[in-house]
Structure 1
Amino acid sequence: MSTASIPLPRWINYGLIPILNLVTAFLISGFVVWLIGESPLGALQLLIEGALGSGEGIGFTLYYATSFIFTGLSVAVAIHAGLFNIGSEGQAYLGGLGCALVALSLDKFVPWYVTMPVAVIGAGLFGAAWAFIPAWLQAKRGSHIVITTIMFNYIGAALMVYLLVHVLIVPGKMAPETRTFLEGGQLPKLGWIMDMFGAKLGAAPFNVSFIIALVAAWFVWLLIWRTKLGFEMRTLGVSPSAAAYAGIPYARIVIIAMLLSGALAGMMALNPVMGSSARLQVEFVGGAGFVGIAVSLMGRNHPVGIVLSAILFGILYQGGDWISFEMPNITREMILVIQGLVILFAGALEYMYRPAMVRLYQQFKRA
């Protein structure tokens, strides 16, 4: 009998197993650091110091985490409906276009708190629109969602380059980017949160989109576990045959789930576009769509787990930059290796310890 079907307590499924995966990833990463002649404990100390040792470091950590919360939620919503959306990267690109058009149109006339809700809607609509075609192809033609969403990532990136180079570029400038948004199109920083703890935000672009991300996480929890639509999505994800027997319309649920997933991915653009750079630039997503896959899997597709997992990856990103600065032997490529190991054990090998945990738990119950 497969151990995947044997239930385990929540504290094992959502606590112990992810911690074991994370510890394994860090042990192997420490071994890699030792092989190149640096101290693993020293590198770990620098990682924590760079990410959490100052108000500015915490600000950068939460800035990165904000993007990962959005993309992690995007992946999770699709997974609950039995879909594996690999297209959050491309959907975030189009979301950036949506919120940038809103900011460029309104920043001269209204303050940021009027622009913000319109930008949220614009980013969500553009992200959802980019997810609609793969959703329709899956629901109506049986085209696999993984293949179509991967292809749409490349199309979205190419479309963004074309628009920034030929349409949205500031006349006379070489850089492929829009003009800088005025104050009415910029999301304010959350420096007051750091001030409450006696720390300074410094140059960190930690901004209001973090609060929007937390609200989105609460919305996803409410949708998935407290609504009829969420129940239908989870039923389809667990057993398509049971969903069909219960009269749950397959095509409708697939399309709705992917539209919601794309909208959440598109809202990720609020963080770098309106909260950090105050303009639309090429490659502003920076791989956050793909990191969201690991964030969702490590968080067990639950909003609380996704928020915690996103903060962990924020620590890895910010602390990794600090390590590469303080330890020249550990290059940026080595930091990517460490991040890749965490993604490997948190994602592809997330159930590596499950068979052993099942045996130990069964022995414990018999004893």
Structure 2
Amino acid sequence: MKSWLEDVRRSSWLVSLLAVVVAFVLGGVLIALTDPDTQAAMGYFFARPTDAVSAGWRAATEAYGAMLRGAIYDPQAATATRQIRPITETLTVATPLIAAGLGVALAFRVGLFNIGAQGQLILGVILAGWVGFRLHLPVGIHLLVAVLAAVIGGALWGGLVGVLRARTGAPEVITTIMLNYVALYLLAYLLTTGAFQREGASNPISPPIDDSAAFPLLLGDSFRLHLGFLVVLVAAAFVWWLLERSTVGFRWRAVGANPAAARTAGMSVSAAYVGVMVAAGALAGLAGAAQLLGTEKSLTGGIAGSIGPDAITVALLGRSRPLGVVLAGLLFGALRAGGVLMQAQTGTPIDIVLVVQSVIVLLIAAPPLVRSIFRLEPRKRRSTDSADGAAPTAERQGAAA
């Protein structure tokens, strides 16, 4: 598992870009094959093959054009507000993906396969929701306390995984999967109790959070973009500083590169595992805060959606780098936001978006496959790589000791 993570993380940006290109090409082929005009033209393909090709090209370009307009800018909209709304929707959808992706990527850098962002996010929204609709605090303080509650909830759930790994050697893959289910069913149970269920409601939904606990809207009531997006960008900058400029980050990278060498150099591998999982859980909790306090405003059983699994893809596509995670999160936000208009205007099934995402996952998880498709030379491993120089440094320190 660790060697596979290293292979994915060390792959070049070109491999990630080509994986996205291949995914969109395959998605375009599927759009063409499901288009009625293309299917009709395929009936006489050998008589006039250009008809089928042109019909398929038209279907794919119209679908992707609608997706682009739904994700970035829609010049065909009636008002200026509706024209620029797509980009704000992309940023809104991308916000929790970026935060959760940062948590997954942070664990990847230490050699831990954290697939528990979903559970950590859910614990975050549980605590943030309770603070949001049960405590009635002044404006400013209420939002801060709710966000801190979400971060603490995610940190505790992630820290539990780190402690189990450090003290018992329990694989984080197994424990995170199990804790995801625990968190999911805990939320389902809480929504049936008097403390969380909305008064008079028959379905499992919590009371709405107070306005004082919600993230302020950045562009007014016509848009959903909220302050949480800027908070997540600050978190991404902090994660970059933590990993690349701090002593703690150096120790974490050293453990991720070579735990034995780091231990020889006097670093605590157990403390690194616990610390990074606490930080990863806190970031997933921040994603929950953005989802609840910025967008949903009420707790439901499906509030987490597929953010946790998608965060793994975002981290892999971003090569576990904060900037890469931000860009990958924006891409996935654009796919989701643009898929709605694509389906509405062209009739293309929105499941095509899931196909594109799945192909990206497949290709990102297998860098040699992308290299073989485009006949790229394998990337040579560099012992002096500045991003991964922790292991050689730790080894030198151990030798010196």
Short-chain TM bin = 0.7 to 0.9
Cα 1:96/1:350, change in 2 over 3 Å: farther
In 1, Cα distance between equivalents of 2:90 and 2:65: 16
**29, 36, 39: which one pairs with 2:34?**
36
Aligned to 2:389: none
* Unaligned stretches of 5+ residues in structure 1: 193-200, 362-367
Do structure 1's residue 121 and structure 2's residue 148 form an aligned pair? yes
Shift of 1:57: 1.2
CA contact 1:232–1:248 (8 Å) conserved in 2:
yes
Aligned to 2:366: 349
**334, 340, 358: which one pairs with 1:340?**
358
Aligned to 1:19: 17
In 2, Cα distance between equivalents of 1:360 and 1:114: 50
Shift of 1:327: 2.3
Shift of 1:114: 1.9
Choose 1 or 2 for highest CA Rg. Answer: 2
Aligned to 2:214: 186
Do structure 1's residue 315 and structure 2's residue 334 form an aligned pair? yes
Deviates more, 1:278-287 or 1:219-228: 278-287
Q: Give the 3-state SS of the residue equivalent to 2:298 in structure 1.
A: coil
Do structure 1's residue 290 and structure 2's residue 288 form an aligned pair? no
* Unaligned stretches of 5+ residues in structure 2: 36-55, 74-82, 381-401
Q: Give the 3-state SS of the residue equivalent to 2:112 in structure 1.
A: coil
In 2, Cα distance between equivalents of 1:239 and 1:31: 43
CA contact 1:88–1:289 (8 Å) conserved in 2:
yes
In 1, Cα distance between equivalents of 2:97 and 2:369: 24
Cα 1:138/1:289, change in 2 over 3 Å: same
Cα 1:97/1:42, change in 2 over 3 Å: same
Aligned to 2:173: 146
**174, 190, 212: which one pairs with 2:202?**
174
CA contact 2:110–2:252 (8 Å) conserved in 1:
yes
**216, 224, 233: which one pairs with 1:205?**
224
Moved over 4 A (4+): none
Shift of 1:105: 3.8
In 2, Cα distance between equivalents of 1:343 and 1:316: 14
Q: Give the 3-state SS of the residue equivalent to 1:126 in structure 2.
A: helix
Identity %: 32
Cα 1:152/1:234, change in 2 over 3 Å: same
In 2, Cα distance between equivalents of 1:269 and 1:225: 26
Do structure 1's residue 327 and structure 2's residue 346 form an aligned pair? yes
For these two proteins, the number of residue pairs brought into alignment is 344
Cα 1:178/1:5, change in 2 over 3 Å: closer
In 1, Cα distance between equivalents of 2:310 and 2:137: 36
In 1, Cα distance between equivalents of 2:244 and 2:63: 41
Aligned to 1:278: 297
In 2, Cα distance between equivalents of 1:5 and 1:207: 35
Q: After superposition, give the CA deviation of every residue in 1:126-164 in whole Å (9 maximum; x if it has no partner).
A: 011111222111111111101110111111100001001
Q: After superposition, give the CA deviation of every residue in 1:182-215 in whole Å (9 maximum; x if it has no partner).
A: 22121111116xxxxxxxx73x421111011001
CA contact 2:199–2:207 (8 Å) conserved in 1:
no
Q: Give the 3-state SS of the residue equivalent to 1:146 in structure 2.
A: helix
Aligned to 2:392: none
CA contact 1:273–1:280 (8 Å) conserved in 2:
yes
Do structure 1's residue 248 and structure 2's residue 271 form an aligned pair? no
Normalised TM-score (structure 1): 0.88
Aligned to 1:47: 67
Higher relative contact order (Cα pairs below 8 Å, separated by 6+ residues): 1
**76, 88, 92: which one pairs with 2:105?**
76
**91, 97, 101: which one pairs with 1:62?**
91
In 1, Cα distance between equivalents of 2:320 and 2:6: 18
Shift of 1:52: 0.8
Shift of 1:96: 0.3
